[in-house]
Structure 1
């Protein structure tokens, strides 16, 4: 995590703790506020799972779980709409990662939902390249996984307050 406090720190900490408790060990977890196009910021978090903890080190070097909260200010320029989204990306042998794919969870998904979705990615039930288009999932037919985090309202308010200060 970062040294300064960001609105999503408690949320990402709860998700990391749930992943660890479920045996999906977190190798690295960090939060940040990032610039897009040098003008607007967005909140993000990147969680890297330790693939050795699930016995898949030889199959895949790593798995990233990515959370982003966008201001929506640049939606007319192709940037995401306002609000949160979860994505995942598999790491490659050279340290790069594939293009992130949406996770079929709520933007403020419960920690349990993230654990379940990560397990489905690891088992290949959800695959890189599955995506949401025209109101339905392509490649993934299981719908949204889980529910929202019990503190989603507070997180949403904290993100909005952060946005108002930026």
Structure 2
């Protein structure tokens, strides 16, 4: 039986919001990830079903939403600072992806905010691989979408407790 991770309930809530408003979830999973031999971050990958919003021709191989929470212990080595971030990436025909781009939501965004941002990415209102630089979005001037999840403090505490148990 897989162990329960701190972000499982959050990602379940995000998937439910996506399924309610589209694009629906094709696959979603959570994990704790290993870098440089140490378990250093939590992540979730949500693959969206573009057929449910009639955009399968626009996104022939799919669209991913990625959530990561980093401990920050490797920030000096180029890894992200402590905390959460949402990103999106277009899938390629071989199943890989390129240029994950920050999603314009809070790291602990409400599930509805993530769903709204995903709809805007799906319609190409927000575009991946922006030449404008890290944290800027091609075609999007609307700033951060929505607010934080009502259980953000609880999730942050659970992620911090996980980090204390998992990192040296």
TM score, norm. by length of structure 2? 0.92
Q: Which structure 1 segments of 5+ residues have no match?
A: none
Gaps of 5+ in 2: none
Q: 4+ residue stretches of structure 1 with deviation over 6 A?
A: none
Partner of 2:109: 109
**Which position in structure 1 is the counterpart of 2:9?**
10
CA contact (8 A) 2:32 2:39 kept: no
TM-score relative to the length of structure 1: 0.93
The residue correspondences of 1:48-127 to structure 2 (distance < 5 A) are: 48-60=47-59, 61-127=61-127
What is residue 158 of structure 1 aligned with on the other side?
Answer: 158
RMSD, aligned CA: 1.5
Q: Secondary structure at the match of 2:85?
A: strand
Alignment coverage as a number of residue pairs = 163
What do residues 105-158 of structure 1 show as CA deviations (whole Å, max 9, x unaligned)? 00000001001100110111110123664xx73533211110000000000000
**What does residue range 137-148 of structure 1 map to in structure 2 within 5 Å?**
137-139=136-138, 140-148=140-148
